[in-house]
Amino acid sequence: MPAVDVVDETFLVVPPAAVAAVFSDRSNWSRFWPDLRLSVYVDRGDAGIRWTVQGALTGTMEVWLEPVLDGTLLHYFLRADPPTPFRRSRDQLAAIRTRQIAAKSIALELKTHLEGGRAPGVSP
């Protein structure tokens, strides 16, 4: 079992293609994950991307884009280990929490940007 296992979901009221375009743009990767080096091992187009991860962590990461109602459910998965094992459980918990906050920050940034001030109840 990986030392860092993060799962997040956020609903965005935009089509999957709009979200996929952000994640397929490699220039965003270093902005979203500055301490990780990503290599695509499955590009699923509008359904998302799977990467291998190296750097501060080694493992896999995935963005799965599920069409739901009038938008997209953005699923995020990170399963990885640090270069050296955590010595204390609180260090592991802190690393997991940091990655959880980062994942939600990315999702909420995309929600704000891609929804572009859309009023609740208005179609994308």
Assign 2 to helix, strand or coil.
Answer: coil
Half-sphere exposure of 63 (CA within 13 A, CB side): 27
pLDDT digits (tens, 9 = 90+) for 63-102: 999 999 989 999 999 999 999 999 999 999 999 999 999 9
Contact of 60 with 51, CB cutoff 8 Å = yes
**For the chain, what are the domain ranges?**
4-114
Supply the CATH classification number for the domain 4-114.
Answer: 3.30.530.20
The answer on pLDDT for 124 being more than 90 is: no
Q: Please provide residue 82's backbone torsions phi and psi, each rounded to the nearest 5 degrees.
A: -75, 165
Strands, sheet with 71-81, edge to edge from the N-terminal-most edge strand: 4-12, 71-81, 58-68, 48-55, 36-43
Full-model pTM: 0.92
Average pLDDT, the chain: 94
Residue in this structure with the two tokens 């501060």, named with its chain if needed: 56
The answer on pLDDT for 123 being more than 90 is: no
